[in-house]
Amino acid sequence: MNPYVLVILLSSLGLGTTITFASSNWLIAWMGLEINTMAILPLMAKHHHPRGVEATTKYFLTQATAAAMVLFAGMMNAWTTGQWDLNNLQPTTSTLMTAALALKIGLAPVHFWMPEVLQGLSLPTGLIMSTWQKLAPFSLILQVAPSTNPTLLTTLGVLSALIGGWGGLNQTQLRKILAYSSIAHMGWMIIVIQYMPQLTILTLTIYIIMTLTAFMTFNKLNTTKINTLSTAWTKDPTLTSLTTLTLLSLGGLPPLTGFMPKWLILQELSNQEMTLTATIIAMSALLSLYFYLRLLYSMTLTLHPSTNNHTMLWRTKKQHKLPLTISMVASMSLLPLTPMITTLML
């Protein structure tokens, strides 16, 4: 892709998200979401591969449906209240808006498009879709949540956590595994958004850091399937060792960073006397942990952990090491800073 075109598309992505962040009414927020969607479509289809074109078409249809629902809900609310204000939603329009935004970010039970779309994308584009594209809809969900039925949010969260865990169990494609991981993490965020929005923002930030590390690692190792992870040790033993810790952090094991948001969310749910909900999502985390352990098994136990004379360096992509290093350190070592982070954010 022409570098100037790439800069324009990435700038449009940032512009669309910024417009949604700064919007004070639903019409401007809808415009920001549309700019965001239109900017990523050429990035998704730039390889001119049939799977890429198919993924782009599915993504466009899904996002167009969600955008139409957002606009329809905003118009219904404006018809009822006489204004387009974000913070003045009626119960019916609030429910419809929550469903539309859930479709945009891939919450269960409207999650079916996400694994298929992510499977057809390259790893860098999949990274953008799994992280940056979540920001604008989440900013709107944060504003809609106070007026939304708590039962609806809890149901969406529990279903996403369970389906995100179950769906990834029998997958062999890394991009689909990361898609179901995203669905599960979104469920954890939605459950607590009605009680402590700051905790949702913290969870989203840590999720983005860990997902960034996973995508950059797989891109550097040039691997998209579980069976090709068995050669990762001969490509880069140090990176492979650190990747195992990153995957365990995604699974939420202590003493890694991923344990922090899960711990705080379970604590908040217990304070709200939602013991059963906390138990269900904690059990769903075990499902997610299983498919992360499958990746670890392929990386560390299916090939003898020693370098040989054929390191296959030609199969390793060259990229800047500093971003990967920073994100990897952050995804593994932020748990001791939990008291400071909670004081600043919560």
pLDDT tens-digit series, residues 34-66: 999 999 999 998 888 888 899 999 999 999 999
Give the per-residue pLDDT at 47: 81
pLDDT of residue 118: 93
Stretch 18-43: mean pLDDT, rounded? 92
Residue 86 has pLDDT above 90, yes or no: no
- Which range is least confidently modeled, 149-153, 244-248, 302-306? 302-306
Question: What pLDDT is recorded for position 319?
Answer: 62
- How much is the pLDDT for 307? 52
| Whole-number Cα distances in Å, 190 to 23, 32, 155, 200, 290 | 22, 22, 9, 7, 22
> The tokens of 155 are what?
């149901």
d(C-alpha 329, C-alpha 339), whole Å: 18
- CA gap 330, 205 in Å, rounded: 11
Residue 157 has pLDDT above 90, yes or no: yes
Which letter does DSSP use for residue 248 in this model? H
C-alpha pair distances (Å), 341 with each of 189, 191, 199, 210, 254: 17, 20, 10, 17, 17
Q: Assign 321 a pLDDT band (cuts: 50, 70, 90).
A: confident
Cα of 322 vs its chain's centroid, Å? 22
Separation of alpha carbons 139 and 198, rounded Å: 12
Choice among 75-89, 164-178, 210-224, 283-297 with the minimum mean pLDDT: 75-89
Q: Which of 250, 171, 173 lies closest to 214, judged by CA?
A: 250
Q: What is the pLDDT of residues 296-317, one digit of tens each?
A: 888 887 765 555 554 454 555 5
Kindly report which listed range (132-141, 158-167, 184-193, 302-311) carries the lowest average pLDDT score.
302-311
Q: Is the model's pLDDT at 318 over the cut of 70?
A: no
- Sequence-distant (6+) residues with CB within 8 A of 200 are 138, 142, 189, 190, 192, 193
Give the per-residue pLDDT at 313. Answer: 47
> pTM value?
0.90
pLDDT band at 320 (very low <50, low <70, confident <90, very high): low
Reduce the DSSP state of residue 87 to 3 states and report it.
coil
Higher local confidence (pLDDT), 181 or 235: 181
Contact 156, 102 (CB under 8 A): yes
Query: Band of the pLDDT at 276, cuts 50, 70, 90?
Result: very high
Q: What is the mean pLDDT of residues 142-165?
A: 91
Q: Among 92-101, 110-119, 294-303, which is the least confidently predicted range? A: 294-303
What pLDDT shows up at residue 236? 80
